[in-house]
Structure 1
Amino acid sequence: MPSECRCATPCGCGEAPSPAPAAARSSARRCGTSTSKANSSGAPEVGLFDKSRRVPLLALLGRAALRLLWATLRRPPLAPDDAARLASARPAVLVVWHEQTLLAAARLRALAEGRRLAILASHSNDGELVTRIAAPFGIEIVRGSASRGGSEGLRGLYRATRRGASPLLMPDGPRGPQHEVKPGAVVLAQMAAVPILPLHFAASRVWRLGSWDRMALPLPFSRVALRVGEPIDVPRRLGGDEIDSWRREVGRRLDELAGCEPPAAPGQPGRHAEADGHDDPGEPGARPGGSGTTLDRASLLFSPNLIRCRV
């Protein structure tokens, strides 16, 4: 009695076909058949939106869209203090909140002036897409994971820093929680003996995406400003508790740079920016939190549209 064939369709092997579809792919290999579509010549047919073609196509469209958007944006010149800090800290670990990624992309020329930038991209399809979009702009791409232990990506960024590159990191990425700094930036600065340079980007008009970080997309013809904080010098020798303290310090500096105040102690008044962007930005020239950074009027007007302080 012939044994039951595990092929999804009759294949000429002399056995009765089995209707089980679950074994179709494995049985096709045993019987010499294929489950993929084929054209009249017998070759597999590859569609326009096949995975192998999808990433290059999306990267091409992404670069074109970014260039078109960038052409409409206005970029105020850096304040003298900001320009001096950006020029002096070279190389450095540049940090910015994840929600400002697209705004940072709009000011790449200011960031890359006199320095080589490096970013971390995973080995996934998303990482390949980021690589294809960013590489033509002269950015060094370090492939590795930031979420699965992070050791591979950290080693790659360390080597890039030793070569003179300045890694641009989003310390609350890649999946949040929002505005919670991971230890990677602190550890990298400690290993490479370079400072951490906090950055804040703001746009006069933004559209919020529905992502976990409410990514800010600058609208056409808006102004995109850049502010640069004081360099953070991380000691070469740190214990576990000290790394955690420096991690929180990086988050505090980023919030201060955006005009946010730390949460007030119980029973004491405090002001926090509202999510809808209608808070009072304060007086020009104020120095929030003692950061020593003078806020210009443009940055004060932009900040409420961009940042959401923790409450």
Structure 2
Amino acid sequence: MKSLVRNALRSSWLQRAVGFLAAEFLRLVWLTNRFTFEPANIYELVEPRMPGILVFWHGQHFMAPFIKRKASYRAKVLISRHRDGEFNAIAAERLGIGTIRGSGDHGSAFNRKGGVGAFKEMVRALAENYNVAVTADVPKRSRVAGLGVIMLARESGRPIMPFAMVTSRFIRLKNWDRTTINLPFGRGALVGIKEINVPPDADAATMEKLRLDLEETLNEASRRAYAIVGRPEGADHG
């Protein structure tokens, strides 16, 4: 039975169907939630600094494609090569976001999971004027920012733009990253506090300081976003 389920999940037709349905459900969520932006002129502030590295916590990733408001905002998102990543990649591409496949992990499994190739592709995409979206977390360690994003900013010379994008109605799963499934017909918030720049000659101490800054900034953005929609951040549903 398990092998039948695995084979079904790997079938391209099912992956396409799930990705299509996920994209259209998320589109419904976006269209039926009334979003507040903080600051109110966030797009006017960010646009002159593009392309940027858009960073958010894993588990808050479903609404990220809708941060792209204009056709001129070209964007690609890093998505893992894991089976679940196939659904996410199909959904992202249907929503007009390009994909880069590989791991953001800079640990022992970095090479095996395609991390080196993905890193080079992200640097190239930024040089070609694409915004690049990536989760900050170290794999399987929720709300712990890894050095990968800091390394990408140092290599590319592009700013890190941390943000949180949440809705008032949601279901939160009890998995490692407490994935939030956003629901329609509520309120939403997009919060960006500041950009983080990494000097091209940043040493290990500077990079660790900026990593902690990124972690704190993402946590604060998340707290503010949930406060705006009037929901406790730690709740399992809204």
What TM-score range do you get, normalising by the shorter chain? 0.7 to 0.9
Q: Does 1:100 align with 2:47?
A: no
Name 1:162's counterpart in structure 2: 127
Segments of structure 1 that go 5 or more residues without pairing to the other structure are 1-46, 260-294
Give the greater-gyration-radius structure (CA): 1
Q: What are structure 2's unaligned runs of at least 5 residues? A: 1-6
The number of equivalent residue pairs is 222
| The one of 199, 204, 218 aligned to 2:182 | 218
1:188 shift after superposition: 0.5
Aligned partner of 1:80 in structure 2 is 40
Task: Classify 1:140/1:251 alpha carbon distance in 2 versus 1 (closer, same or farther; 3 Å).
Answer: same
How far is 1:170 from its partner?
0.9
- Higher percent of residues as strand: 2
The one of 49, 67, 70 aligned to 2:30: 70
Query: Is 1:55 paired with 2:15?
Result: yes
Task: Summarize deviations over 1:188-245 as a string: whole Å, max 9, x none.
Answer: 1111101111112232222212221112222220111111121111111122232222
Tell me, yes or no, if the aligned pair for 2:166 and 2:189 is still in contact at 8 Å: yes
Conservation of the 8 A alpha-carbon contact between 1:202 and 1:306: no
2:99 counterpart of 1:141? yes
Is 1:120 the counterpart of 2:78 in the alignment? yes
Residue pair 2:150, 2:211 contacting (<8 A) in 1 also: yes
Displacement of 1:250 in angstroms is 0.7
Change (3 A) 1:192 1:124: same
In the TM superposition, what are the counterparts of 1:1-311 in structure 2 within 5 Å?
51-76=11-36, 79-105=39-65, 107-110=66-69, 114-147=72-105, 148-149=109-110, 150-172=115-137, 175-259=139-223, 300-302=227-229, 304-306=231-233
Taking the aligned partners of 1:59 and 1:169, their CA distance within structure 2 comes to 19
Q: In 2 relative to 1, CA 307–228 (structure 1 residues): closer, same or farther, beyond 3 Å?
A: farther
1:103/1:217 contact within 8 Å kept: no
Distance 1:177 1:304 in 2: 24
Q: Indicate conservation of the 8 Å contact 1:98/1:170, yes or no.
A: yes
Deviation, 1:307, is 6.0
User: Quick one: higher RCO (CA 8 Å, sep 6+), 1 or 2?
Assistant: 2
When the two structures are superposed, what TM-score results if normalisation uses the length of structure 1?
0.63
Change (3 A) 1:125 1:217: closer
The Cα RMSD (Å) is 2.6
What is the percentage of aligned positions where both structures have the same residue? 26
Name the CA shift for 1:307/1:88 in 2 (closer, same or farther; >3 Å).
farther
Structure 1 pair 258–146 and aligned structure 2 pair: CA distance change class (3 A)? closer
CA contact (8 A) 2:33 2:167 kept: no
Letter in 2 for 1:159: R
